[in-house]
Amino acid sequence: MKIRFIYPRFEKLVESRAELASLAEIKGVGNFRMPPALGIPILAALTPEDIKIELFDENIEPINYNEDADVIAVSFFTPQAEYAYSVAKKFKAKGKTVIAGGMHPTVIPEEAAEYFDSVCIGEAEEIWLTILSDIKNKMLKKYYYGGYPDLSTLPIPRRNIFKNKSGYEWDGTLVQVSRGCANNCEGCIIPVESGKEYRFRSVQNVIKDIETIGSMDFFFTDDPLVLPNQQCKKYLLQLLEETKKLQPKPRIFLSGSLNISIEKEYLNNLYEGGVVCLYIVFGCDPFSINAFRPGGHKFFNWSLDIVKRIQDSGIHVFTSFGLGFDYQDKSVFDLSLEFAGKANIKTAEFYILTPFPKTPSWFRFIKENRILHYNWSKYNSANVVFKPKNFTDMELLEGYLYCWKEFYKNRLIDSSIDIFKP
Ligand code: SF4
């Protein structure tokens, strides 16, 4: 049997907004291509050796529809959904068995089921072998439910499935260490997709994974890692105790929000463990919710202080400012730029709130009849797909473009952090 994994194309920020394309500096941040997340390499690692596997990443190469594989497995998130359905239709017309998995089929499986022979809902690790066996025995079911596997059994992802592919512009390798989050932030899909309990890989397993990568630049993909609760803090510090021993010294990219511990000792531990950059998403945490609402001066200054403390510990801060939340009004555009200026931010992104299916904002906007359309390709955080509260949709879009242009006016990307460089 041969399986062809497919990662369908999706519209990048600059593709969505041609008016930003001429700003080459922006292109470096908002439009780069990186390998897909780890779902496909993990399934590749679980696939028995007698089954041949290959990948088409449509973001860097065209799909060959004259494929000799028996099974086409398509992994996709919301902005890829329409392309994914067209891919499934074409392969089905050629008699192939097509299977869907990933974030979007997990949250709207009934939609994916219209186009695919079978839909894998949730995390596939514990059901992948069953799916393969059912294909062999011609007993494929319409739905498979993955649940929330114990991460201690995760295999080392087979990242060599990306081998020999040119076109990726960012080689910071992704390393997954946890799943799930106990919080319930407005626009976040993580608790919806991966549950409300934190699950962690063993530290030894993560280190073993890092040692197979062949590079010491990597990105821990999990936003909850830097949350200030005891579980996340304890785990991250244990992990960094081990990364600290790696040679050469690693350069780790972490992501999170302003909801982070700012004790000096904690931040020093992050730095000593190899963290060079923290990607901070503004919009959902209690600090940025209060700092970017009209009259939130006290929180604005506290938020500046959080960023300064992180920078003072030697960690570069890359910010992603969220625009369009109900607690914001038109002042948010200048406030975001003022914040970036005062915090001496060198690398920033701006995103428009997007009600991804089954997130809290999705349910609220449906109830309030505020979803403008379900054109999934536009659900990429560069388009207004809902009716904002304190702006018109055009004001929100123009404010978003204004922020990008103003921030990058006369500015070059900070070349001292080459983890960002294409
Ligand atoms: S935004 Fe972060 S803290 Fe909030 S639910 Fe998502 S992962 Fe958890």
Asked whether residue 243 falls in the same domain as residue 323, the answer is yes
Name the band, by pLDDT with cuts 50, 70 and 90, for residue 214: confident
User: Same structural domain for residues 136 and 220?
Assistant: no
What's the pLDDT band for 134 if we cut at 50, 70, 90? very high
Residue 224, CB-side half-sphere exposure with 13 Å CA sphere: 27
- Encode pLDDT of 323-349 as tens digits: 999 999 999 999 999 999 999 998 899
Where a domain ends, among 145, 180, 201? 145
Tell me the CA–centroid distance for residue 224 and ligand 1, in Å: 6
Confidence of residue 419 (pLDDT cuts 50, 70, 90): very low
Query: Are residues 38 and 135 part of one domain?
Result: yes
**What is the tally of structural domains in the chain?**
2
Rounded to the nearest angstrom, the distance between the alpha carbon of 14 and the centre of ligand 1 is 26
Specify the CATH number for the domain of residue 85: 3.40.50.280
Cα(232) to centroid of ligand 1, in Å? 12
Looking at the structure, tell me whether residues 23 and 119 fall in a common domain. Answer: yes
Tokens of 404: 């990008």
Q: Where does a domain end: 127, 145, 163?
A: 145
- 62/19 same-domain check: yes
Q: Is 138 left (phi over 0), alpha (psi -120 to 50) or beta?
A: left
Looking at the domain assignment, is residue 164 inside a domain? no
Q: Compute, in angstroms, the gap from residue 279 CA to the centroid of ligand 1.
A: 13
Average pLDDT, the chain: 91
Residue pair 370/362 in contact by the 8 Å Cβ criterion: no
Mutate to test the pocket of ligand 1, among 178, 179, 181, 358 (most ligand atoms within 8 A of CB): 181
| 43 plus 135 within the same structural domain | yes
Q: Is residue 414 predicted with pLDDT exceeding 70?
A: no
Q: How far is the CA of 191 from the centre of ligand 1 (A)?
A: 7
213 Cα to the center of ligand 1, angstroms = 27
Indicate which atom in ligand 1 lies nearest the CA of residue 183. Answer: 5
The answer to whether position 126 is within a domain reads yes
Pocket probe for ligand 1: among 176, 188, 192, 225, the residue whose CB has the most ligand atoms within 8 Å is 188
Residue 201 and residue 111 share a domain? no
- Residues of the domain holding 114: 2-145
- Distance (Å, whole) CA 377 – CA 401: 19
What is the structure's pLDDT at 36? 79
**Same domain, residue pair 118 and 198:** no
Phi, psi at 8, each rounded to 5°: -70, 160
Any domain includes 159: no
Q: Look at residue 270 and tell me if it is in a domain.
A: yes
Residues with CB under 6 Å of ligand 1 are 181, 183, 185, 188, 190-191, 223-224, 227, 257, 284
Contacts of 198 (CB under 8 A, 6+ apart): 178, 179, 180, 181, 182, 224, 231, 232, 235
CA distances from 172 to 95, 106, 149 (A): 38, 27, 26
Same domain, 212 and 107: no
Q: What is the band of 16 on the pLDDT scale with cuts at 50, 70, 90?
A: confident
- Nearest-5° Cα angle at 176, 47 to 181: 115
Ligand 1 atom at minimal distance to the Cα of residue 223: 7
The protein residue with its alpha carbon nearest to ligand 1, atom 4, reads 185
Residue nearest to atom 6 of ligand 1 (CA): 188
Whether 416 is in a domain gets the answer yes
Q: How far is the CA of 56 from the centre of ligand 1 (A)?
A: 31
Dist. CA 176 → ligand 1 center (Å): 16
| Same domain flag for 136 and 195 | no
pLDDT at 141 over 80: yes
Q: Is residue 201 included in any domain, yes or no?
A: yes
DSSP tally for the chain: helices H, then strands E: 16, 14
CA distance 31 to 22: 12
Note the pLDDT of residue 98. 98
Ligand 1 atom at shortest distance from the alpha carbon of 182: 8
Q: What is the pLDDT of residue 351?
A: 95
Higher pLDDT, 78 or 223: 78
Mutate which of 189, 190, 320 for ligand 1? The one with the most ligand atoms within 8 Å of its CB, which is 190
- Tell me the CA–centroid distance for residue 251 and ligand 1, in Å: 24
Q: Tell which atom from ligand 1 comes closest to the C-alpha of 227.
A: 3
Ligand 1 atom index nearest CA of 281: 1
Within this chain, do residues 22 and 99 fall inside the same structural domain, yes or no?
Answer: yes
- Closest ligand 1 atom to residue 256 Cα is 2
Quote the ligand 1 centre to 188 CA distance (angstroms). Answer: 6
pLDDT in tens, 254-293: 999 999 999 999 999 999 999 999 999 999 999 999 999 9
Does 137 lie in the same domain as 191? no
At residue 420 the predicted structure's pLDDT band, cuts being 50, 70 and 90, is: very low
Mean pLDDT of the 353-373 span: 97
Q: What residues are paired with 255 via a beta bridge?
A: 279
Flag whether pLDDT at 24 surpasses 90.
Answer: no
Cα–Cα distance measured from residue 124 to residue 128, given in angstroms and rounded to the nearest whole number: 6
Q: How many CA atoms lie within 13 A of 346 on its CB side?
A: 14
196 Cβ contact list (under 8 Å, min separation 6): 180, 181, 182, 184
Q: What CATH number did the domain enclosing 234 receive?
A: 3.20.20.70
Question: For position 422, what pLDDT does the model report?
Answer: 34
